[in-house]
Structure 1
Amino acid sequence: MKIVLVPGACHGAWWYRPVVDVLAARGRSALALTLPGLCERVEEQGATLASHVADVTATVAALDEEVVLVGHSYGGMVVAGVADALPGRVRGLLSVDGFAPRDGDSCWSGVDDAMRAWYVDASGRSGTGVDPMPQFDPRTTPHPLASLVQRIRLTGAYRGVRHYALAADPTWTPHSPFPAIAERLRTDPAWTVTDLPTTHNVLRDGTEHLVGAIEALVAEVERAG
């Protein structure tokens, strides 16, 4: 079973490198992806949420094995779309302090005014890309604005295992739009919600919390057979 990792806004596959290494040492096969229009794929202009979903869907469809999907932040939108497109191939998904959309949702509709202000203000330079926040890693690149405002289309076909990991560090949560998503999912029997003692940058203090959340998802998928 392959673990496919989708990063958040402005980030690339490099963000998951420590996680891939730890999983490999534990005998797990993981593939971290960079989405079109970002980092080493920055020249692929015109990316939207739909094209991000299509790109990852094509990658997963080409794999000769079942997968679990992990999406951090914006990546939660993408993995939801891929699972909906390939319900027979995707065994489980994990949204890490990110989006868990319903049909018709967008990142814009799912965040608070502070995040919307970032989308608008940080795209003023180019008009098409949202510049990284100052505290982001220097390897980050502008994120395609269209992907943050486009609504996702979901058929509801996916019925596999679904986990949500909330970054619950109290220094982060007052500024985060994601606790509201976690609270919605806590009452949904289709989801398992776990609190992580981290900020949104869940790898800041090491890999173990994120690796643990991934391994919990994989373990449930394997128990389900």
Structure 2
Amino acid sequence: MATFVLIPGVLHGGWWYRPLTEGLRAAGHEVYPVTLSGVSERGHLGGGAINLDTHVQDVVGLLEAERVEDAVLVGHSYGGMVISAVADRVPERVAGLVYADAFVPRDGESAHAIVNDLWKQRYVAGAAAGNGHTMVGLHPALDPRATVHPMATLLQPVRLTGSADAVARRVYIHAERFEGTPFLETYGRLRDDPAWTVHALPVGHDLVQEAPEEFLKIVLAAAE
């Protein structure tokens, strides 16, 4: 049995992973879909003090409280920022990393620094629609359960020491039909790196809805 910890992207809670969660549990695994501070049902914890460090501590605290020592961390989109920092902080608790069309930051990078101009403009528009501390999702295709997201989490640079290099299993999933994707450079950087297993799926960014069977298969393989 493996233990999977699932980290969603901006504006979304752990509920986004429901199809994957159900598939993993049906296969006999332990699964923790996480809703990060200041988002969705944890939106009452919002405020300008929530940043990337807060979200990293959300996950580290879960691993420690549940005594998880062999987690496969799955991060979708922004969740890649979080799992990168968690694996760097507590590599002894992490057995594998799955980046589901996600950020794979280098030391000193923020989500805002990595994205292209299109997404920088969307961040600005989302922040303008929010209260300055939070970003509102403006895309009409968003899940209706999507909420505001703490803006500082996208602006704070991640600090990485290289400790996560000890995690041997590293998987990246590239969504080929994600219009305006900010992850092309990341995909190009990783696809020829022998330290990574890289998949390209002919779908959009919403992997859990557009490629549920393929997504489940790849995540399960990361625990083998």
TM band (smaller chain): over 0.9
Greater relative contact order (Cα < 8 A, sep 6+)? 2
Residue 160 (structure 2) aligns with: 154
Query: Percent of counterpart pairs with the same letter?
Result: 41
The Cα RMSD (Å) is 1.2
**What is the TM-score when the length of structure 2 is the normalising length?**
0.93
Letter in 2 for 1:41: R
Match status 1:62 vs 2:65: yes
Residue 218 (structure 1) aligns with: 223
Report the Cα offset of residue 25 of structure 1.
1.1
Output one character per residue of 1:108-142: Cα deviation in whole Å (capped at 9) or x when no partner.
Answer: 11110010001111111311111112221110101
Residue among 195, 209, 213 paired with 1:190: 195
Three-state SS of the structure 1 residue aligned to 2:207 is coil
Structure 2 gaps, min length 5: none
Distance 2:217 2:184 in 1: 20
Output one character per residue of 1:130-187: Cα deviation in whole Å (capped at 9) or x when no partner.
Answer: 1112221110101111000110001111121111111113xx25x1111210110123
Letter in 2 for 1:168: E
**What is the TM-score when the length of structure 1 is the normalising length?**
0.92
Report the Cα offset of residue 206 of structure 1.
4.9
Three-state SS of the structure 2 residue aligned to 1:58 is helix
Distance 2:208 2:89 in 1: 29
Structure 1 gaps, min length 5: 220-225
Contact 2:204 2:210 in 1 (8 A): no
Distance 1:163 1:115 in 2: 24
Distance 1:120 1:51 in 2: 22
Residue 74 (structure 1) aligns with: 78
Match status 1:134 vs 2:140: yes
| Matched pairs, number | 216
Residue 38 (structure 2) aligns with: 37
Distance 2:210 2:53 in 1: 33
Alignment of 1:57-136 (within 5 A): 57-65=60-68, 66-125=70-129, 126-132=131-137, 133-136=139-142
Report the Cα offset of residue 30 of structure 1.
1.1
